[in-house]
Amino acid sequence: MIFRAVRDGRPYPEHNLTLKQWAEIPPRPLRLDQLITTKRELALDKLLAEDSTFYGDLFPHVVQWNGGLYLEDGLHRALRAALQQRNQIHARVFVFPAAVDEVARG
């Protein structure tokens, strides 16, 4: 199995991070089998495109919430890494503050 789980949608509250705020988070290595995707489908043309990150962030975006690491943006890059026999990627990880996590769980 490539990913820990595959979901359709985000289980965590909206974080409202801008691209500038994401860019301020330093990337760190993550194992692919720790990630939970938030998309069930991908576009094959984007997976095969050489310039898929030309207009976006070089690093995937991951949200750490309620004990999970959710791959919010970068599914194509993560899958491309798996196809290249790599078991980890570098990603920017936003960690929800504990107070927000507690409120969201009720």
Say yes or no to pLDDT of 104 above 80.
Answer: no
Collapsing DSSP to helix, strand or coil, 65 comes out as strand
- Distance between CA 65 and CA 101 in Å, rounded? 7
Which tops the pLDDT comparison, 52 or 81? 81
Q: What is the pLDDT of residue 59?
A: 93
Domains and CATH numbers, the chain: 5-10+17-105 (3.90.1530.10)
SS3 20: helix
The residue among 88, 93, 34, 83 whose CA lies nearest residue 60 is: 93
- pLDDT tens, position by position, 10-31: 999 999 999 999 999 999 999 9
pLDDT of amino acid 41? 79
* C-alpha distances out from residue 78 to 38, 54, 99, 101, Å: 13, 16, 30, 26
Quick one: pLDDT at residue 49? 62
* pTM for this entry: 0.82
Q: For the segment 23-68, what is each residue's pLDDT rounded down to a tens digit?
A: 999 999 999 999 999 988 776 666 566 655 545 568 999 999 999 9
CB count within 10 Å of CB 53 equals: 14
**Cβ–Cβ under 8 Å, residues 47 and 77:** no
